[in-house]
Amino acid sequence: MRNLKKKHILRKILFFSFILILIGSFVWGESGKFQIYIFGGINRVFEYGSENDYVMGENDFPTTPSHTPSSFGASIGYFFADNIGIELDGRLCLSSKITLEDPSDQDTVEIDASKHYSLSLNFIYRLFKGNLRPYLAIGGGFDVLSAEDETYTSEYGYEIEFLVPEKTVDPLIQLGGGIQYFLSSSAGVRLDIRYVLIFDDPDNINSFNIMAGVFLKF
């Protein structure tokens, strides 16, 4: 049943994407400078924290392992010239299961990593013209943690409380690139890859985003 539901959802996504491309192909002209991009993909978050940060009763699980939640978003861009533009990008990173370990006794607890969303402004440089247009991107913005206080039971039977940190907004920088493929003069598909660095306290968070979706030019 789960596989059937997933296939049904995938068909809806593909159908919606196709409709967007058709609308862009017939409604907007070739001279448009704005672009809207709708996308989804994965966000590979690398391990952060250290056993050196362990404090009994305060930070019993100091290391967060690598995990790969799903991510979705949209952006709007404006191109000053055919190859140079700026883009306002918003992304939502969903929750995922992770297992933390207490380095003092190897007790473990499975928790839900918090959702978070980001907003960034990026400069886009297309390397050349044509239907297939690779590009570079660099920019910055901020990341907002969306979390609530939670209590979990560890493998050894202890109740572990995770409190929302006082600071939930952190600056970020990102760089990367991708490929745009124009299916018509005003619509197409896009693959986007970004390295993101979030300046968190006490440890910075590094992640690698891989996104794909459709874009419309108007």
pLDDT in tens, 33-67: 889 999 999 999 999 988 888 888 778 898 999 99
If one counts the domains in the chain, the total is 1
Residue in 91, 93, 89 with CA at minimum distance from that of residue 123: 89
Where are the alpha helices (H) located in the chain, listed in sequence order?
Answer: 2-27
Residues in the chain: 218
SS3 33: coil
CA–CA distances in Å: residue 194 to residues 10, 18, 119, 211: 24, 25, 14, 9
Residue in 127, 133, 121, 123 with CA at minimum distance from that of residue 190: 133
Hey, what's the torsion of the CAs at 68, 70, 73, 79, to 10 degrees?
50
Mean confidence (pLDDT) of the chain = 86
Range with lowest mean pLDDT among 79-88, 89-98, 135-144: 79-88
> 201 vs 122, which has greater pLDDT?
122
Q: Domain of 58: which CATH number?
A: 2.40.160.20
> 216 vs 58, which has greater pLDDT?
216
**Residue 180 to residue 146: CA distance in whole angstroms:** 31
b/e per residue 69-95 (b: at least 16 CB within 10 A): bebbbebebebeeeeebebebebbbeb
Owning domain of residue 194:
2-217
> 214 vs 15, which has greater pLDDT?
214
CA–CA distances in Å: residue 111 to residues 43, 64, 173: 18, 11, 27
The Cα diameter of the chain in Å comes to: 65
- Check residue 51 and report its DSSP letter: G
**Residue 176 to residue 163: CA distance in whole angstroms:** 33
Strand partners, 102: none
Q: What is the pLDDT of residue 218?
A: 85
> 197 vs 165, which has greater pLDDT?
197
b/e per residue 136-163 (b: at least 16 CB within 10 A): ebebebebebebeeeeeebeeeeebebe
Give the burial class of 174: count Cβ atoms within 10 A of its Cβ; 0-12 exposed, 13-18 middle, 19 or more buried: buried
134: pLDDT strictly greater than 50? yes
- Check residue 56 and report its DSSP letter: T
150: pLDDT strictly greater than 90? yes
pLDDT bracket for residue 10 (50, 70, 90): very low
Q: What is the pLDDT of residue 208?
A: 96
**Mean local confidence (pLDDT), 102-116:** 93
**Mean local confidence (pLDDT), 188-205:** 94
**Mean local confidence (pLDDT), 74-81:** 90
